[in-house]
């Protein structure tokens, strides 16, 4: 049995669907660990096209040193792990508030949040809205300010999602080139990347409305940013921003603005790495974030390879 197969055997101690919105919708969650074991809890927050299963190969980086909470936003998950996926509006602020409900349900008072890509929106909103429930917050590959370049990227994505199946298939070929840095791309280019692309296409070919609604949820998110100056600034939690030095999806200057707005935060750039820092430079990402969690201090000693 291979190492990846062994990791796949790890099963949640608690899992299920939590009713939200007065029972009209449901959110799927998984909890690894025992809330009575005295260990702190980490919540790994999904990117746009991820679900709880996306974290399975990375759980050994965190568990059992920490308990782990995973959950799927609306439009994420399949089969028994599916959260509600109606073709109706989704809200990032609601995704953050559902996390509070899940925490209360399983009996967790405070967590470390780690949001990658789209999950950075949720991690940032959770830290802003519920600072008393946060040990630390980490964001990676995201922006928390209104930027015209990102608006163009969002509009282009929606164009692909709302177009014909043929156009959507073309989008899946463009997607991975933009996401990964050169070093990682050189390792997966060819058969491995084609499998990733085909899996993405298969998963969403009949569920494009999920991608559309998740993407449109960014509109009220940025409307809130527009409503109040420095909306995601001066957050009252230890905040770490980990950016990939070759991130072409969310440029470094967008990510550095989060640090500028939050003077007590820590801004780190992982070299030879694109958008998915936790995957492309696992050798740097996880040791550093574990040290951040351990100290709860942005002045932690940086781990190097």
The per-residue DSSP string of 69-110 comes to EEEPPTT---GGGPPP--SS---HHHHHHHHHHHHHHHT---
Pair of tokens at residue 80: 């028994």
DSSP class of residue 53 equals G
| Cβ atoms within 10 Å of 278's Cβ, excluding its own | 25
pLDDT of residue 4: 41
Q: HSE-up of 290 (CA within 13 Å, CB side)?
A: 20
Taking the CA atoms of 84, 87, 90 and 94 in sequence, report the sign of the dihedral they define: negative
Question: How many CA atoms, within 13 angstroms, populate the side-chain half-sphere of residue 121?
Answer: 25
Q: All domains of the chain, ordered by start, with CATH?
A: 3-295 (3.40.50.1820)
Q: What are the counts of helices (DSSP H) followed by strands (DSSP E) for the chain?
A: 12, 8
pLDDT value of residue 175: 85
Residue 6 has pLDDT above 70, yes or no: no
- Write down the pTM of the prediction: 0.95
pLDDT-above-90 percentage for the chain = 93
Beta bridge partners of residue 296, listed in sequence order: none
Q: Does residue 91 register a pLDDT over 90? A: yes
Q: What contacts 156, CB < 8 A, 6 or more positions away?
A: none
Q: Nearest Cα to 49, choosing from 184, 172, 174, 225?
A: 172
Using the predicted structure, report yes or no on whether residue 2 has a pLDDT greater than 80: no
User: What gap in Å lies between CA 295 and CA 298, rounded to an integer?
Assistant: 8
């Amino acid at each position: 049995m291979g190492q990846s197969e062994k990791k796949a055997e790890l099963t949640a101690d608690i899992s299920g669907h939590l009713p939200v919105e007065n029972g009209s919708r449901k959110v799927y969650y998984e909890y690894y660990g025992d809330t009575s074991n005295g260990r702190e809890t980490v919540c790994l927050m999904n990117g746009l096209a991820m679900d709880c299963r996306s974290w399975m190969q990375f759980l050994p980086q965190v568990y059992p040193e920490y308990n782990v909470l995973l959950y799927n936003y609306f439009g994420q998950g399949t089969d028994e792990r599916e959260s509600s996926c109606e073709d109706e509006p989704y809200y990032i602020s609601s995704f953050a508030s559902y996390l509070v409900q899940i925490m209360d349900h399983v009996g967790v008072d405070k967590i470390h949040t780690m949001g990658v890509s789209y999950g950075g929106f949720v991690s940032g909103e959770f830290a802003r809205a519920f600072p008393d429930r946060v040990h630390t917050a980490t964001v990676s590959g995201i922006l928390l300010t209104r930027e015209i370049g990102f608006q163009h990227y969002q509009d282009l994505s929606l164009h692909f999602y709302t177009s014909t199946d043929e156009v959507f298939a073309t989008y899946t070929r463009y997607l991975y080139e933009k996401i990964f840095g050169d070093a990682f791309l050189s390792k997966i280019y060819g058969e491995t990347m084609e499998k990733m692309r085909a899996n993405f296409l298969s998963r969403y070919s009949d569920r494009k409305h999920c991608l559309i609604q998740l993407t449109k949820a960014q509109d009220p998110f940025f409307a809130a940013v527009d409503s109040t100056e420095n909306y995601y600034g001066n957050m009252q939690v230890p905040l770490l921003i980990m950016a990939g030095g070759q991130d072409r999806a969310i440029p470094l200057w967008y990510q550095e603005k989060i640090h500028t707005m939050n003077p007590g935060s820590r801004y780190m750039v992982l070299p030879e790495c694109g958008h998915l820092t936790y995957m492309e430079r696992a050798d740097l990402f996880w040791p550093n974030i574990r040290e951040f969690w351990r100290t709860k201090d942005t002045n932690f000693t940086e781990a190097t390879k």
